[in-house]
């Protein structure tokens, strides 16, 4: 007998992963299968599209984070400093972001953009600093343009004093759909 409320996740649909997923499904467990190609998980009747969706959603943070690191390395190089000197500071920033993710997720889920101390206006005010740093260091910071545009639009909508998390309201084209989702 199993706990029908227990959900399991199987990573990969190689021989072993496929067999495990089949066994969990047969035993009545809610089963999510994560695989690079969702089609391999489809015959299991699990939730292959959910795995791909999470991979894309979480993966959206990777390139901007890496670009930020590369930009920082280029700025340091312009002053004759090695990229490795930045690593301890980058790790601290990433740990700080990690600690804020639950607060941000709660703000998004509840559409209450008041808990986080970092406001849209704070980030908007710092836009000039990005431009000055790029000009002084000779580093191409054009990849910031879409983010700057988003901040300008948020301020124009009167969201300056809201948490930076409120940017989701501009990113999500059909924010009403989020309201209808079951809260997990």
Question: In a structure prediction context, what are the per-residue pLDDT tens digits for the chain, which is 184 residues long?
Answer: 455 578 888 888 888 888 888 888 888 888 888 777 777 777 776 565 676 777 788 888 899 999 999 999 999 999 999 999 999 999 999 999 999 999 999 999 999 999 877 999 999 999 999 999 999 999 999 999 999 999 999 999 999 999 999 999 999 976 654 454 444 4
Q: How many CB atoms lie within 10 A of CB 54?
A: 14
Residue by residue, DSSP assigns 34-58 as E-SSGGGTGGGTS-HHHHHHHHHHH
* Cα 73 from Cα 94, distance rounded (Å): 16
Residue 71: what pLDDT? 97
Residue by residue, DSSP assigns 65-112 as HHHHHHHHHHHHHHTT--GGGGHHHHHHHHHHHHHHHHHHHHHHHHT-
Q: Across-strand partners of 30?
A: 7
3-class SS at 4? coil
151: which residues sit within 8 A by CB, 6+ positions away? Answer: 120, 123, 124, 127, 167
pTM over 0.85: no
φ/ψ of 60, rounded to 5, equals -65, -20
Q: Are strands 30-34 and 7-11 parallel, antiparallel or unpaired?
A: parallel
Q: Across-strand partners of 11?
A: 34
Q: How many CB atoms lie within 10 A of CB 168?
A: 15
Q: How many CB atoms lie within 10 A of CB 34?
A: 20
Give the pair of three-digit tokens for residue 59. Answer: 């993966």
* Cα 63 from Cα 35, distance rounded (Å): 21
Q: Among 44, 32, 34, which residue's Cα sits nearest to residue 8?
A: 32
């Amino acid at each position: 007998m199993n706990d029908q409320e227990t959900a399991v996740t199987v990573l990969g649909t190689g021989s072993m992963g496929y067999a495990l997923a089949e066994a969990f499904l047969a035993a009545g467990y809610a089963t999510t299968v994560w695989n690079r190609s969702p089609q391999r998980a489809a015959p299991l009747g699990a939730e292959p599209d959910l795995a791909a969706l999470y991979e894309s959603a979480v993966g959206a943070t990777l390139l901007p984070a890496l670009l930020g690191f590369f930009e920082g390395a280029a700025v340091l190089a312009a002053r004759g400093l090695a990229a490795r000197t930045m690593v301890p500071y980058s790790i601290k920033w990433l740990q700080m972001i990690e600690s804020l993710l639950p607060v941000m997720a709660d703000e998004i889920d509840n559409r209450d953009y008041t808990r986080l101390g970092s406001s849209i206006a704070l980030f908007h005010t710092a836009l000039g600093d990005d431009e000055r740093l790029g000009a002084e260091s000779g580093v191409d910071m054009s990849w910031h343009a879409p983010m700057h545009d988003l901040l300008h639009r948020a301020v124009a909508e009167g969201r300056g004093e809201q948490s930076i998390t409120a940017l989701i309201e501009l990113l999500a084209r059909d924010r009403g759909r989020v309201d209808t989702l079951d809260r997990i």
